[in-house]
Amino acid sequence: MTAESGRLPLAKPVIGARERELVDSVLASGQLSLGPMLARFERAWAERIGVRNAIACSSGTAGLHMCLHAAGIGPGDEVITSSFSFVASANAVLFTGADVVFAEVDPLTFNMDPAAVEAAITPRTKAIVIVDIFGYPANIPALLDIANRHGLAVIEDACQTIDGAYDGKKLGTWGHPAVYGFYANKQLTTAEGGIILTDDDDLALLLKSLANQGRSDDGAWLVHSRLGFNYRLSDVHAAIGVAQLERLDDMLAGRARAAQWYQDRVASIPGVAPMYEGDQERSWFVYAPRLDEGIDRDAVIGHLDHLGVSAKPYLPCIHLQPFYREEFGYAPGVLPVTEAISASTIALPFFPEMTEAQVEQVTTALASVLADMSVAAGA
């Protein structure tokens, strides 16, 4: 077997006959957008999470942007978020014209450190975008306490924590809107898509309108009562989502199973630390253990690639992205904890149908690469 034929991808969606059947039914119905499949997808999410409203949209990014817009965030405002996230967490803030302020993260959970968030508050701060990175829930109660004391809006970027909970209480039920993302590598995919969960009926009406070009709240034909966006999720995408929801428990269990195989094996490999297992339950999105300081991650990735194992530096911090450096003058050193984590975490192949043999293949390759590099470094 060559490295190519047996190559393990980083992510792989589970798509089967049910997804095709429901997509086909939408195509046959002729109602490709704003139809019953969209309503069915939204209802199924609201029921699953136990919230009054689920508003589907074209992406997680679109959901975050709409929530910030609906909270009245705009030019002159500051919004605090994590730089150890996908770029969309901060970009959504910039879309509103507001400024992003990055707070340091906790070295274990990789989520925003509440003390750092509080320290970052200024008279211009209007909101916090909580991020649950790598599917591990942020310290929601502590962050909500800060937001309440300072009168700040809260939006949760739960795009990596599909179906997550903090202290057993589902994300989306904490009183602020939470956004899930359904890109193809996520725990549940609609190819592209997202959903906002909220118990607030007025906010839900506003979000529904914003996603549909500011359509009037009574849905009147081509009456636009506010400036909105086209952030609709089509019924074709929603059909994939309905089928995926039917198998979500199985897919989550598959990820959790693969994660456990990884955790057990990685724990015994010198030079790499398994992922953090704290009090909260992680919604397994990626498997991204942390290499010891001083190990050349790019070299590890290159060697793994030769052995047929895909791996990526994950996650680059937002403030050091070229656009953020050029636009805002960021340079290495401003967020040392975030930067150290970002320089050492490595995403390995991870998907629901992964077998124990495949996990073994990855960890055996990783162990041999790290051992060889350690011998070379000592030589």
What residues make contact with ligand PLP under the rule CB under 6 A?
A: 59-61, 85-86, 88-89, 131, 157, 159-160, 181, 183, 194
CA distances from 327 to 79, 206, 323 (A): 17, 32, 6
Of the pair 69, 265, the CB lying nearest ligand PLP is at 69
Q: What residues pair up with 56 in beta bridges, in sequence order?
A: 195
Nearer of residues 193 and 308 to ligand PLP, judged by Cβ: 193
> Please, which residue, 114 or 194, has the CB nearer to ligand PLP?
194
CB of 28 to ligand PLP, least distance (A): 27
The catalytically annotated residue of 169, 186, 208, 312 is 186
Of 65, 51, 44, the residue nearest 155 (C-alpha): 65
Which 3 state secondary structure label does DSSP give 362?
helix
Distance CA 263, CA 257 (A): 10
Residue 170 annotated as catalytic: no
- 252/245 Cα distance (integer angstroms): 11
Residue 96 vs 363, nearer CB to ligand PLP: 96
| DSSP single-letter state for residue 148 | H
Nearest distance in Å: CB 175, ligand PLP? 20
Please report how close the Cβ of residue 57 comes to ligand PLP at its closest, in angstroms: 9
234 contact partners, CB below 8 Å, separation of at least 6: 32, 33, 38
Shortest CB 279 distance to ligand PLP, Å: 21
Q: Which residues pair with 159 in a beta bridge?
A: none
Query: Which residue number is nearest to ligand PLP in terms of Cβ?
Result: 60
Structural element, H or E, at residue 2: none
In 3-state terms, what secondary structure has residue 136?
coil
Residues assigned a catalytic role: 186
